[in-house]
C-alpha cells in the first residue's frame, strides 16, 4: 500500500511515533523507579509525626541513605535528566515543514517531556 504522505512528512511522523511509543514510556518507568527509591527512603526513616515532612526533612532522610545508595540515586537521576534533555532535543529537531499533524504532535510531546523534566527536577532538588 502506497503512503499518501510525502517521504519527509512520513519520516518526521515515524520519528515522533518512536519517541512517543518507546522513549517516553522508558523514561516514565525510570522516573517511577526513582520515585519508588525516594518514597522507600522516606518510609524507612523515623516517623516525623502526622504532618508531611518538610523539604529539609526530606533532604535529611535521603542524605541518611548509605553513601553508595545515595550516590547511585543521584547518578540515576542525573542519567534520566540527561536522557530527557536528549529526547527534548530530538523532538525539537524534527522538522514540521508546515504540517499541522507534526506541529501538534511535537507540541504535545514537548509538553510531556517538560512535565517529566519537572518531576526529575524535584528529585534533583531533594538530592542537592
Smallest Cα–Cα separation from 100: which of 38, 12, 29, 22? 12
More confidently predicted of 24 and 50 = 24
What pLDDT shows up at residue 65? 87
Rounded Cα distance, 14 and 105, in Å = 11
Rounded Cα distance, 94 and 57, in Å = 43
Averaged over 28-54, what is the pLDDT? 83
Rounded Cα distance, 109 and 35, in Å = 22
Interaxial angle between packed helices 24-44 and 55-63, expressed in degrees from 0 to 180 and rounded to the nearest 10: 90
Give 5's pLDDT tier (boundaries 50, 70, 90): confident
> Tens digits of per-residue pLDDT, 65-101?
889 999 999 999 999 999 999 999 999 999 998 999 9
Smallest Cα–Cα separation from 127: which of 68, 84, 80, 75? 75
Q: Domain 7-126 belongs to what topology?
A: Methane Monooxygenase Hydroxylase; Chain G, domain 1 (1.20.58)
Domain-by-domain residue ranges, the chain? 7-126
Amino acid at each position: 500500500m502506497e503512503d499518501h504522505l510525502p517521504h519527509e512528512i512520513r519520516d518526521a511522523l515515524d520519528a515522533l511515533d518512536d519517541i512517543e511509543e518507546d522513549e517516553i514510556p522508558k523514561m516514565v518507568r525510570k522516573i517511577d523507579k526513582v520515585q519508588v527509591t525516594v518514597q522507600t527512603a522516606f518510609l524507612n526513616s523515623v516517623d516525623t509525626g502526622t504532618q508531611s515532612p518538610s523539604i529539609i526533612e526530606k533532604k535529611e532522610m535521603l542524605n541518611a541513605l548509605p553513601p553508595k545508595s545515595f550516590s547511585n540515586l543521584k547518578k540515576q537521576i542525573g542519567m534520566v535528566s540527561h536522557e530527557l534533555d536528549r529526547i527534548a532535543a530530538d523532538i525539537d529537531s524534527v522538522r514540521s515543514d508546515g504540517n499541522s499533524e507534526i506541529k501538534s504532535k511535537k507540541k504535545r510531546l514537548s509538553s510531556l517531556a517538560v512535565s517529566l523534566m519537572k518531576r526529575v527536577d524535584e528529585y534533583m532538588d531533594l538530592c542537592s
